[in-house]
Structure 1
Amino acid sequence: MRPSVIRPVIAVALAAALTGCFNSVDPVAEIYGATMGSTYSIKWVPVEDAPDAETLQADIDGMLARFDEEASTWRSDSDIARFNAAPAGTCMDMPNSVLDMVRLAETLNRESNGAFDVTVGPLLKLWGFHGDPQLQEVPNADALAAAMQTVGQQHLHVRESQLCKDVALTVELSSVGAGYMVDRVSERLEHYGIKNYMVEMTGELKAVGHKPGDRPWRIAIEEPRDDNRVAQMILSLDGEGVSTSGDYRNYFELDGQRFSHTFDARTGKPVMHRLAAVTVLDPSAARADGLSTVLMIMGEKAGWDYAIAHDIAAFFVVRDGDTFESRVTPRFDALTPGKE
């Protein structure tokens, strides 16, 4: 079967920074760059003895280059790519970044009863989300069953400094990777004594402290529209990581059905519910990154119940025909008194 409408596979950048245009008297430094197939931006209030912008950018670009060498699945020579190419029963030494992310993934997998899973790569490939969009299709039952034999985070284990797998699975850490590096770059800024900053990578974001004049860092959360980008809510942040997951930028349609790039590893199929987008706030950008995926997989009812039970700061946007309905958890409401 062929899709009747095809949407391009693009990075989802859902939390857009609204720092505004600084005038010449505002002592805010900023750098921009490329990472993980997308971009990053960092803004901070300079302090004495901290590196200048050029030196800091070289340091951060070095961090991101090392991370790419460790965790990228888009290059065959990375540590995780070598692990993915190895056969069942492999144990392989891994850098701390990969081990840290897999440990977080294990926690999210356990807490969500398997909804979160970093081994769904074969499903993304089978359904056509890794490669030519013209090849996106609904697979037959036999092909799906075969792919499911190499899916399941219960077959992945961290043993001291090694990563091990029981079956020939592949690991894709993009659901926590950008958030993880937001946290690492935030730590690097604080190492240099920088206390007021905002770090954004591929749409994952963390803001700490304030801009000059005691003004808050402000971000926009997009309305989940297919056609253009519209700010749905403006937030003032101090100390929170922000992540949004949604189904409106990376999907295809067939016979009137929308097939999202977000998969439930328990069924082997894309999520099929009315939840259009969910935003999570958490002190850890990596955990916010993973939790937004968890809630997106669970959907508007189970995801809401999970967020309430685990006291997660979450903002849900549910599709209702051509319109959207939204609601926030009590924790989200408590953390965002400055929302507009």
Structure 2
Amino acid sequence: MSKTYTDLYRHALNGPTMGTRWSALFLAPSGFEIAPVKAALQVAVEKVDMQMSTWKPDSDLMRLNAAPTDTWTPVPEELFHVLQTGLEIGRMSGGAFDIGMGDAVRAWGFGSEDADPVRIQAALGMKRHAAHEVLELDHAGRRMRKHAPLALDLSGIAKGFGVDRLAETLIGFGIRDALVGIDGELRALGLQPDGSPWVIAVEEPDIRIRTPYSILALQDAAVATSGDYRHWIEVGGRHLSHTMDPRRGGPLQDAPASVTVVAQTCMEADAWATALMVLGTNHGIALAEEHGLSALFLKRAGNDIVPTGVGPLFRAQAPMSLNSFTTSSRATPI
């Protein structure tokens, strides 16, 4: 006889990673050993951080950044997969998503060092090649080489991959219904025990308070948001987002307040949310439609927020508000 909803116990696990915290919410029967699950989840995200952090001088990513040009360098399996996906989405987005913006990220003070006016000017004035143009991957040998100087930064994709690793770890323990996340990037596995989708909020793009703007109900799907309201700096009285514009080597200007993407994996959702944010509302909507992405653009108009939905999850729902917008999805591959 199968377990009923009342036979299950709710477990909410969390731990530190990447300067924030990971979380995992699921239900399991009485007597289920939680300690090994939590330990495995922590190991999974620590491995991602150790490979992909720009805050750890001895990370695998920083080792790649220090490698000379035109020299093959071995790459760990997980990092290779993220680099491959990052370069692919870079190509598909016409360079809007670029994993080679590490110099600009650090120059503007969004990395492990304070903002530096000299390096800011260098980043703004640099003639750039997109990472997908100068970074070569050898799939058979699982190695890479740069054909020009390149400062890799995976802040627009690594957290999403970390969320996917949390999900895969739970599946390895036989847990196929769960909600996992890192810093607002989330992935839903299956359904809640009562058969309903996992319900999450898309935040209002407000720097002062955290409040929901709309609601998503997800099944076997991931969601990520790129916005200008959580990580930012103020320069000359102007609010500047942490998201770098590869076209200028500095923070985005006149971008949407936020872009939320629903995809099959959180890594894809994370990278595409950044790409569409960089492109802006008009070009971002066009690219999302071209690739069949489900995306929600929130743009400021005075004191109002103007939503635009793209894709099967969002297009038919307008206006989208906390009370009127709820959608359920089984995400399809991008």
TM range (shorter): 0.7 to 0.9
For residues 108-257 of structure 1, what are the structure 2 equivalents within 5 Å? 108-131=89-112, 135=115, 144-146=124-126, 148=127, 152-160=131-139, 161-257=142-238
Contact persistence 1:136–1:252 (CA under 8 A): no
Q: How many residue pairs get matched?
A: 315
Contact persistence 1:295–1:307 (CA under 8 A): yes
Give the secondary structure class of the aligned counterpart of 1:171.
coil
Q: Give distance in 1, aligned partners of 2:245 and 2:16.
A: 30
Q: Which residue of 2 aligns with 1:84?
A: 65
Q: Give distance in 1, aligned partners of 2:197 and 2:13.
A: 19
Q: Which residue of 2 aligns with 1:16?
A: none
Contact persistence 2:44–2:169 (CA under 8 A): no
Q: Which residue of 2 aligns with 1:323?
A: 304
Contact persistence 1:233–1:339 (CA under 8 A): no
The amino acid that maps onto 2:137 is V
Q: CA deviation at 1:110?
A: 0.6
What do the CA deviations read for 1:84-111 (whole angstroms, capped 9, x no partner)? 1222223211111111001101111111
Q: Give distance in 1, aligned partners of 2:119 and 2:297.
A: 30
Q: Give distance in 2, aligned partners of 1:248 and 1:268.
A: 20
What do the CA deviations read for 1:183-225 (whole angstroms, capped 9, x no partner)? 1221222222212111111221101222222233111111000
Q: Mean alpha-carbon deviation: is it higher for 200-209 or for 59-68?
A: 59-68
Q: 1:164 to 1:47 in 2, by over 3 A?
A: farther
Contact persistence 2:53–2:59 (CA under 8 A): yes
The amino acid that maps onto 2:138 is R
Q: Give distance in 1, aligned partners of 2:157 and 2:171.
A: 21
What do the CA deviations read for 1:216-258 (whole angstroms, capped 9, x no partner)? 3111111000111111012211011000000122223334533
Contact persistence 1:313–1:335 (CA under 8 A): no
Q: 1:143 to 1:206 in 2, by over 3 A?
A: closer
Give the secondary structure class of the aligned counterpart of 2:233.
strand
Mark the runs of 5 or more structure 2 residues left unpaired by the alignment: 318-324, 329-334
Q: Give distance in 1, aligned partners of 2:38 and 2:285.
A: 39
Q: Give distance in 2, aligned partners of 1:315 and 1:177.
A: 21
Give the secondary structure class of the aligned counterpart of 1:27.
strand
What do the CA deviations read for 1:252-289 (whole angstroms, capped 9, x no partner)? 33345332211121322322114100100001111001
Q: CA deviation at 1:166?
A: 1.4
* 1:310 aligns to 2:291 (yes or no): yes
Mark the runs of 5 or more structure 1 residues left unpaired by the alignment: 1-22
Q: Give distance in 1, aligned partners of 2:111 and 2:190.
A: 39
Q: What TM-score does the superposition give when structure 1 sets the normalisation length?
A: 0.84
Give the secondary structure class of the aligned counterpart of 1:173.
coil
Q: 1:69 to 1:141 in 2, by over 3 A?
A: closer
Q: Which residue of 2 aligns with 1:3?
A: none
Contact persistence 1:122–1:151 (CA under 8 A): no
What do the CA deviations read for 1:119-169 (whole angstroms, capped 9, x no partner)? 101112223333565x465977566324x4586441112113102111221
Q: Give distance in 1, aligned partners of 2:94 and 2:326.
A: 34
Give the secondary structure class of the aligned counterpart of 2:229.
coil
* 1:301 aligns to 2:301 (yes or no): no
* 1:104 aligns to 2:85 (yes or no): yes
* 1:74 aligns to 2:68 (yes or no): no
Q: CA deviation at 1:47?
A: 5.5
For residues 28-107 of structure 1, what are the structure 2 equivalents within 5 Å? 28-46=10-28, 52-107=33-88
Q: 1:334 to 1:298 in 2, by over 3 A?
A: closer
Given the alignment, which residue of 256, 268, 278 partners 1:275?
256
Give the secondary structure class of the aligned counterpart of 1:59.
helix
Contact persistence 2:87–2:99 (CA under 8 A): no
Q: Give distance in 1, aligned partners of 2:305 and 2:22.
A: 29
Higher relative contact order (CA 8 A, sep 6+): 1
Give the secondary structure class of the aligned counterpart of 1:211.
coil
Q: Give distance in 1, aligned partners of 2:223 and 2:312.
A: 14
Contact persistence 2:123–2:249 (CA under 8 A): no
The amino acid that maps onto 1:203 is G
Q: Give distance in 2, aligned partners of 1:143 and 1:241.
A: 33
